[in-house]
Amino acid sequence: MKTLQDFNFYAQKAIIRVDFNVPLDEYFNVTDANRIEAAKPTIDKILADGGSVILMSHLGRPKGKQDQFSLRHIVAKTAEVLGVSVQFAPDCRGEIAQQAARQLKAGEVLLLENLRFYAEEEAGDVAFAKELASLGDIYVNDAFGTAHRAHASTTIIAQFFPEKKCFGALLAKEIDSLNRVLNNSVKPVTAVLGGSKVSSKITVIENILDKVDHMIIGGGMTFTFVKALGGAIGDSICEDDKQELALEILRLAKEKNVQVHLPVDVVAADSFSNDAQTQVVDVTKIPDGWQGLDAGPKSLENFRAVIMESKTILWNGPLGVFEMESFAKGTITLGNFIAESTQNGAFSLVGGGDSVAAVKQFGLEDKMSYVSTGGGAMLEMLEGKVLPGIAAILN
C-alpha cells in the first residue's frame, strides 16, 4: 500500500482528489470545515517536501455549471484552514486549468473548479481523466467519501500514473482503521449495529459474523428480530418480509459462537413525536398504538457490560431516534460507554452517517479512536467489497 511516506514531493506537482463536498449556508459560507481539515496533513507533507498541490473535488449535485455549486465559494475557508493562500482555476479542464497548473510554483496550492460541472466525471470518462492527469506529476487519492465510486478523478485517473500514485494520509488512516476491525482485531470484538432497517445491514452482518464475538442490535431493526421471535411490537417499525432473514441471522450467529444482544426493554411512545407520551416497556410486550423509539435502561445496562469487556468496537447506527431529544438517551449513553472503553484501551471505530452525526452532535468525536469520513464507502468495505478508488491505487 503506497502512502505519502513512500514519496518525496520535492519539485513535484501533486494532483490530489480531496472530498471538499462541504455544507454552505445561504450566503455561501462553509458551515462545517471538517473535510477540509481532514485533508490538511496530506497537503502539509507535500508542501513541506517542496512540492506544489493541485486540489480537485466535487461539490453537491450540479446539473451542468451552476454558480451555487462553484468551489470558488470555499477558497477563503480552504486558505484559512491550510494557512497558505489558495489560487483558484475557474475550470478544471482546458487551457484555463492547464495554464494555472503550469504557473504553479513550489509551496503553492491551486484549487480547480467543481469536477461535476462535467458529466464525464461521474461517467468515469477516460479522456476527461487523462486531461486531469496531465496537470500533475503524482496522483494522490485522499477522498474516502468517494472511494466507492468509479469516477474519472477517483479511479480512472490512476492508470495514467503507473508508478507515481499513492493514498493520502486520510485515506490511508481509513483503510488502516477498517483493517484493524476486520482483519487485525484484538478480541473480544463487538459490532454495534443500529438504524431502522435490517435490509440495509444484511451484507454487513453476513461479512462480519466471522470476525466478531458480540453483536449488539439496536434502533428500528430491533423490532424485525423481536417480531420474528414471537414478541408483540405494537406499532413499531418492522420489515415483515425480513423476519425469516432475522431468524437466519440469529441461527448463523449461534453456529459461529457470536453472542447477539437485543434490547430487553424500550422507551415506547404513543406517537412519533418529541412531545409524545412515553413509557418504558418490555421489548416483547409493546402495547398496540405504541412504538419503540429508544433503548430502555435495562438494555443499556446489558450493553454496558459487553462494551466494557470489548477490546475492539465497531459502531454503525444509532440506538434510537436521537434527532428527538426525548429519544436520544440510548445513543448518548452508548456513546459514553464506548468512550469509556476506548479510554481503557479499546480500539473504537465509528462509521455510517447517523452514528457519525450522533458522536459529533453529542461531543464524543474526540473520545473515539477513529471516526470515519465516508458513510457509503465504509459500509461497502464492511460488506467486504473492494472499493474502486482503493483498488486503482493498489493495482
* Residue 261 marked in a binding site: no
Residue 376 falls in the annotated catalytic set: yes
201 is in an annotated binding site: yes
User: Any binding-site annotation on 353?
Assistant: yes
Active-site position among 130, 180, 197, 298:
197
Residue 289 counted as an annotated binding residue: no
**Has 102 been labeled as part of a binding site?**
no
Question: What does 344-393 look like in DSSP terms, one character per residue?
Answer: TT-EEEE-SHHHHHHHHHTT-GGGSSEE-S-HHHHHHHHTTPPPHHHHHH
Residue 354 labelled as part of a binding site: yes
Q: Give the Cα separation of 70 and 52 in Å (integer).
A: 22
DSSP string for residues in 274-322: TTS-EEEEETTEEPTT-EEEEE-HHHHHHHHHHHHH-SEEEEES-SS-T
- Is position 262 annotated in a ligand binding site? no
**Number of DSSP helices (H) and strands (E) in the chain, helices first:** 14, 17
Would the annotation count 149 as a binding residue? yes
Secondary element (H or E) of residue 141 = strand 138-141
Calpha distance 76→67 (Å, rounded): 16
The phi, psi pair for 371, rounded to 5°, reads -115, 115
Residue 251 catalytic? Answer: no
Residue 130: count of CB within 10 angstroms of its CB = 14
Question: Could you say which of 35, 45, 173, 367 is catalytic?
Answer: 35
Q: Which helix (H) or strand (E) holds 94?
A: helix 94-102
- The annotation status of 151 as a binding-site residue, yes or no, is no
Residue-wise DSSP of 13-63: EEEEE------B-TT--BS--HHHHHHHHHHHHHHHHT-EEEEE---S--S
Q: Assess whether 194 carries a catalytic annotation.
A: no
Q: Is 167 labelled as part of a ligand binding site?
A: no
Is 83 labelled as part of a ligand binding site?
A: no
Bridge partners (DSSP) of residue 268 are 279, 292
Q: Active-site residue among 180, 311, 360, 376?
A: 376
Any known ligand binding at 160? no
CA distances from 10 to 41, 48, 135 (A): 16, 9, 16
The reply, when asked if residue 21 is annotated as ligand binding, is yes
Contacts of 122 (CB under 8 A, 6+ apart): 116, 149, 151, 152
Annotated binding site for ATP: 201, 292, 323, 352-355
Annotated binding site for substrate: 19-21, 35, 58-61, 116, 149
Give me the active site residues, please: 35, 197, 353, 376
Annotated binding site: 19-21, 35, 58-61, 116, 149, 201, 292, 323, 352-355
